[in-house]
Amino acid sequence: MAIGLVLFTACGVETPAPPPGNPPAPGTTTVLTTLPQPSSAPSVPPSSAPKPPPTTQPSKTGKIVVLDPGHNGGNSGRPGEINKQVPAGRGKTKPCNTTGTATNSGYSEHAFTWDVSQRVSEALSAKGIRVILTRRNDTGVGPCVDERAAIGNEAQADAVVSIHADGSNSAGAHGFHVAYSAPPLNAQQGEPSTRLATALRDGIRAGGFPTSTYLGSNGLAPRDDLGGLNLSTRPAALIECGNMRNADEASAMASEEGRQSYAAVIAKAIEDYLAG
């Protein structure tokens, strides 16, 4: 069955573009391939992250995780597509997607989220967890927020984790936070999602990353305005890994070692949640 694609856009500083067969075997990494590609995608440096494992890897757990790498590398070149209004839950609409933020030196959020998501995917797949990514590369457009949510819903995912980075210019703003839908619109947005968000918060904090000094409380941020979370019928949470405008966090995000550190603690936190 073909699965639609959906994105969670939630970064503090998101830069909109200028106006105008058979199901995969369990225990595998699946990168959905229904996403239309632009005829001329912008050049993006290749990711240093390991590629997702082959789809022949056997399942050990039967668990399914959807990883949603925020934004996409081709968004800036297709303003007509990413600025169109789509359902965002709670009776509201919002733009399909945004271009995301970047460090002051120009390292983009979409490249960071794609790299980290691949690393998390490899770690989870090695434990026999089937992983589905909401986009197949870092040169495409979208998918829209409503499409990204549909991926987790149709896959009946045990956990949906959207990976982002923030872009605040507030003095001293740094640290990560984890968002979840509140007030909940269905049972899965209640205890399962708050437990997932808490597991992610606890795992990332235990890995030595500080909680946000400027958003949320104690590393958690209940939100009612994030389309991917509002439209989810599965346990879902969104991680803002840190502030790309903070010099120290920008340096970590732009380095391979730093991205591996983020990926390791996120993967471990997801494993802990699934084990619980």
Q: Is 240 a catalytic residue?
A: yes
Pick the catalytic residue from 14, 147, 240, 249.
240
61, 129 contact by CB (below 8 A): yes
The DSSP line for the chain is -----------SS--PPP---PPPPSSSEEE-------SSPPP-PPP-SPPPPPTTPPPSS--EEEEEE-S-TTGGG-HHHHTSEEEEETTEEEES-----B-TT--BHHHHHHHHHHHHHHHHHHTT-EEEES-S-SSS----HHHHHHHHHHHT-SEEEEEEEE---STT---BEEEEESS-SSGGGTHHHHHHHHHHHHHHHHTTPPBPSSSSBTTEEEES--HHHHT-SS-EEEEEEEETTSHHHHHHHHSHHHHHHHHHHHHHHHHHHHH-
Q: How far apart are CA 241 and CA 91, in angstroms?
A: 29
Task: Locate 42 and state its tokens.
Answer: 């912008």
List active site positions.
Answer: 240
